[in-house]
Structure 1
Amino acid sequence: MTARTLMIQGASSSVGKSLLVTALCRIFARRGLKVAPFKAQNMSNNAAVCPDGSEIGRAQALQAHAAGTPLSSDLNPILIKPEADAHSQIVLDGRPFKSLSAYDYYTQKQTLWEHATAALDRLRAQHDLVIIEGAGSPAELNLKRGDIVNMAIARYADAPVILAGDIDRGGIFAQLLGTLWLLEPEERQLVRGFVVNKFRGDIRLFEEGVRILEEKSGLPVLGVVPYLKDLSLPEEDAVALDQPRFNPRDSSTSIDIVVIRLPVISNFDDFDPFRNDPGVQVRYAAQASEVRQPQAIILPGTKSTMADLAWLRERGFDRVIREHVQRGGALVGICGGYQMLGQMIHDPERIESSKESIAGLGLLPAETFFIPEKATYQVHARVTGQAAWLAGLPEPDLQGYEIHMGRTDSASTWLKIDTRNGLPCESADGSITADGRVWGCYLHGLFGNPAFRHAWLASLGWSPKSESPAPQETDRLDASLTYLADQVEAAVNMSEIERIIWAD
């Protein structure tokens, strides 16, 4: 049986399409359906690794978790990962395809389209319902000829479309009605209703707005979803870092951690687990003056290590980082940030830049060599180092994942990776100073291991305010997903949405 489909499109980017799809995946999954999310094309440097080592967007991984379906590249067959110099790495069916400019990307439309539709066909053959997410707006008229993610997919799947708008940013009537009216007649026929998202206040104040939308469009408003704050869910891309919660100013916190907001920052959800720890504040700094005097600085992952290292020097972060270390502050590098902390970075095949080699920050005894093969693994590792705070680590086992180009040779490894994608291996990773204050590794998801995270925080002077254990990250995630689904289910007309999906 071929699965039914429902598509959520938006009047613009950031109207909440991803979270609406996430909520609907959880709602229909707990009604007993076999559900899968799908997004033909996503642009994000926040990626997840599937069990077979393929990459997909973090948003689709979250949606799959909500739906209870295994991760696979079919959920997001085309992932665009922005790099430096206006190019992007195109990940096709979970594997690196080409590095392309925006213009050259559209020359690959036929190839990409064939892969996208094949992935959707496979999902529909294996599930009861596929909930499809669009990208940006279907009414970007200058881009419609190259469309493979919005109305082109809706027409291919004959999917009913719900159009979502963000009332919090204003202009909801222009958003929804303007988008609808700019569509071609055959595209408008696929739109079955609107959802007004991110409403603040008394919903009765928008009853007249609902009537206006319905009268002018001839379509039902299927729900007005409230603005949901403090969801502990990973963000889809770096646009979210502009939100106030990523730049707190709480002087009462005992531990202040600053993440350098690199231009091509990736996988910054690595730091979400710190939300679980009372008294710990994580800030993102794009200017050296914003760093001030935290207990720790973190250099996160990046899609362009060499370009972002040059940016870091241009902004004066290198001086601030050295002064921080000289004062005894902690410094951590994850993935690309780890590569920056070493002595040298070599790129003999010009994979990342036009330069053969550049000097690293010289704060770890490590040296990086870029190679064409991309490492994408779900991993199990063990802490083998005994430097400083690592010696008292109560639980040496770690879960995480790798996404990186290149290898790093280190004179002070502290991790042993023993499983990659379920297969035994033996690979040393990481580098650390003798005092344990400066360290790095390739392992994303590292701080999702509570014993490790808390041991490092304790080395910074943190102590838990309660003897009861903090909730596990997976428990916190599932609680947020349940809350999201409950709120959306209460706000939308589910019986009408079901009728739209299963109408003959």
Structure 2
Amino acid sequence: MSKAIVILGTMSSAGKSLIVTGLCRIFARKGIKVAPFKAQNMSNNAAVCKDGGEIGRAQYLQAIACKIEPTVDMNPILLKPEGNSKSQIIIRGKVWNSLNAKDYYKRKRYLWDVVVESLEKLKNEYELIIVEGAGSPVELNLKQNDIVNMAIAKYLDAPTYIVGDIDRGGIFAQLLGTYWLLEEEEKKLVKGFIVNKFRGDINLFKDGVSIIQEKSGVPVIGIVPYITDLILPEEDVATIEDFAKSAVKSADKKIDICVISYPHISNFDDFDAFKMQREVNLRFVRRVEEFGKPDLVILPGSKNTISDLIWIRKTGFEDVLKRYVQNGGKLVGICGGYQMLGKKIHDPQKMESDTETIDGLGFLNTVTVLRTNKTTRQITARMVKDIGSFTDENLEGYEIHLGQTEFLDANHGIFEIIYENQTIKDGAFSEDFKIWGTYIHGIFNNDAFRNSFLKTLGVEISELSYKESLNKNIDKLADVIEENIDVQKIMEDAGIF
């Protein structure tokens, strides 16, 4: 019979996603067939499963931590904010609707059935399900519509643990306040508290542990230290802004890469491999004053390309980019960023805004038309045009976009995408090859391509395996959690022996 545990947070970004990721790897290393589950996630940083379905990046990473193939049932509902208080609703990996919160909540019965069906599928296949909640479980004005926090814990009758972020302060109010606001039947499911992101000497918090336990009757089962040098895919934009603030250019950082962080940035984990490369200083910038003198500028993916293109103009980045290119700078666009590099973007059905046509940045001779049919698929590609970083190895990645891009001259076809016995040309470039774009997400996770491309910036690069580095970081996270959380108690609570 399948077992389950539930990890809830006192708020968004309390660290529950990483706690779940670490626990997934811990139980996988113990030989338990384990899978992650999050009923409903909200993020524009999606991942694409083998069947082409979208799920939250956190659940994709958690599946990797479990050493299993990610599936849409691990995150059956994904909300992708579009602006104007609306979100695109992804149900079991496919676009279902675009709704505001009020209309979304009216579909609770249908959405709950979706959640339960996916959860039951996982229970039939795995020995242990590790459930992640969302936000706070005690948003009292929204609780009647809950399909992701205590509703799941009660459905599973599963031991539940509440994670608080001590780094933000107010840890007593976070943990005790959350617990006290639960209903009595819900409190019975809470088997422990986890204090997360602790800085300094943990022994200095012994009195704090005693206070929490005395006032709640619930044990503190772990105090997890703040891990400063962990590099794992994130799904919250706030985390990349925190990364940007903390990034320091040291002497061995020989390449400076600037990613324009517009309001609807998506799939920003495309650049995680650069974070791992010791020669690279990766910066996410939101103001022209932060632009500096980069060796490479990247326009990343966007959930609302037209809106973000307008933002680029309003903030002055368009003029900055034009001067940068005139001075010989190198510029790359991925997905939405690729669309922006062209001559025009057409949105005849007004899917992204009321603007039917907008001029692009004009760096590439392409035109993009946004269409209702969304392309989401994992792909294999090969490089057929030498843009100064040629590799004959097959490349892996994924597509996730609405637009179709038309080429207006011969400067296109950097890659051939191989998908279901089809060969599709992808990517366009400038005559001097200093500017190029592609729809392939994850292109820089391919070691041979990334290392070859970075060498075109004039620096010798140390060899790095992205997949090996990713797994080392997951193992490091798991080691820290196993050392600082009472995993044996969790196993006993769940009936795992």
Q: TM-score per shorter chain, which class?
A: over 0.9
Alignment of 1:7-18 (within 5 A): 7-18=6-17
Q: Would you say the 8 A contact 1:417–1:425 is kept in 2?
A: no
- 1:7 offset after TM fit, Å? 0.1
1:450 aligns with 2:447: yes
Superposed CA offset, 1:284-317 (max 9, x none)? 1111121122111110000000011011101011
Larger deviation, residues 338-347 vs 237-246:
237-246
Which residue of the partner structure matches residue 176 of structure 2?
177
1:148 aligns with 2:147: yes
- Counterpart CA distance in 2 for 1:350 and 1:244 is 34
Larger deviation, residues 340-349 vs 288-297:
288-297
- Counterpart CA distance in 1 for 2:103 and 2:344 is 32
Superposed CA offset, 1:263-285 (max 9, x none)? 01000010111123232111111
Which residue of the partner structure matches residue 356 of structure 1?
356
For residue 476 of structure 1, the aligned residue among 465, 469, 477 is: 469
- Counterpart CA distance in 2 for 1:5 and 1:41 is 17
Which residue of the partner structure matches residue 322 of structure 2?
322
Structure 2 vs 1, CA of residues 479 and 72 (structure 1 numbering), >3 Å: closer, same or farther?
same
Q: Would you say the 8 A contact 1:386–1:414 is kept in 2?
A: no
- 1:425 offset after TM fit, Å? 1.3
Which residue of the partner structure matches residue 424 of structure 1?
421
- 1:481 offset after TM fit, Å? 1.0
Which residue of the partner structure matches residue 35 of structure 2?
36
- 1:38 offset after TM fit, Å? 0.1
Q: Would you say the 8 A contact 1:84–1:307 is kept in 2?
A: no
Q: How many residues align?
A: 494
- 1:259 offset after TM fit, Å? 0.5
Root-mean-square deviation (Å): 1.5
Structure 2 vs 1, CA of residues 380 and 246 (structure 1 numbering), >3 Å: closer, same or farther?
farther
Which residue of the partner structure matches residue 257 of structure 1?
257
Task: Give the TM-score taking structure 1 as reference length.
Answer: 0.95
Superposed CA offset, 1:175-224 (max 9, x none)? 10000001111111111111111111221111111111111111111111
- Aligned amino acid, residue 155 of structure 1: K
Q: Which runs of 5+ in 1 are unaligned?
A: none
Which residue of the partner structure matches residue 376 of structure 1?
376
Which residue of the partner structure matches residue 499 of structure 1?
492
Superposed CA offset, 1:235-259 (max 9, x none)? 1221202214566342643211110
| Partner SS, residue 414 of structure 1 | strand
Q: Would you say the 8 A contact 2:223–2:484 is kept in 1?
A: yes
Q: Would you say the 8 A contact 2:77–2:91 is kept in 1?
A: yes
| Partner SS, residue 100 of structure 1 | strand
- 1:116 offset after TM fit, Å? 0.8
Once superposed, which parts of structure 1, at least 4 consecutive aligned residues long, lie more than 6 Å away? none
- Counterpart CA distance in 2 for 1:181 and 1:25 is 29
Q: Would you say the 8 A contact 2:417–2:426 is kept in 1?
A: no
1:130 aligns with 2:129: yes
Q: Would you say the 8 A contact 2:41–2:75 is kept in 1?
A: yes
- Aligned amino acid, residue 238 of structure 1: V
- 1:352 offset after TM fit, Å? 1.6
- Aligned amino acid, residue 434 of structure 2: R
- Counterpart CA distance in 2 for 1:245 and 1:336 is 21
Alignment of 1:174-323 (within 5 A): 174-245=173-244, 248-250=247-249, 252=251, 253-323=253-323
- Counterpart CA distance in 1 for 2:293 and 2:226 is 34
Structure 2 vs 1, CA of residues 320 and 251 (structure 1 numbering), >3 Å: closer, same or farther?
farther
Superposed CA offset, 1:43-79 (max 9, x none)? 1111111000000000000100001121110000001
Q: Would you say the 8 A contact 2:36–2:132 is kept in 1?
A: yes
Which residue of the partner structure matches residue 403 of structure 1?
400
Which residue of the partner structure matches residue 366 of structure 1?
366
- 1:160 offset after TM fit, Å? 1.3
Task: Give the TM-score taking structure 2 as reference length.
Answer: 0.97
1:163 aligns with 2:162: yes
- Counterpart CA distance in 1 for 2:363 and 2:164 is 48
- Counterpart CA distance in 1 for 2:244 and 2:350 is 38
| Partner SS, residue 224 of structure 2 | strand
Q: Which runs of 5+ in 2 are unaligned?
A: none
| Partner SS, residue 499 of structure 1 | helix
Q: Would you say the 8 A contact 1:416–1:426 is kept in 2?
A: no
- Counterpart CA distance in 2 for 1:246 and 1:93 is 36
Q: Would you say the 8 A contact 1:5–1:129 is kept in 2?
A: yes
- 1:86 offset after TM fit, Å? 2.2
Q: Would you say the 8 A contact 1:342–1:363 is kept in 2?
A: yes
1:440 aligns with 2:433: no
| Partner SS, residue 22 of structure 1 | helix
- 1:94 offset after TM fit, Å? 0.4
- Aligned amino acid, residue 408 of structure 1: T
Q: Would you say the 8 A contact 1:35–1:129 is kept in 2?
A: yes
- Counterpart CA distance in 2 for 1:301 and 1:246 is 21
Superposed CA offset, 1:130-172 (max 9, x none)? 0000001101111111111101111111121101111111111
- 1:228 offset after TM fit, Å? 1.2
| Partner SS, residue 256 of structure 2 | strand
- Aligned amino acid, residue 286 of structure 2: A
- 1:320 offset after TM fit, Å? 0.4
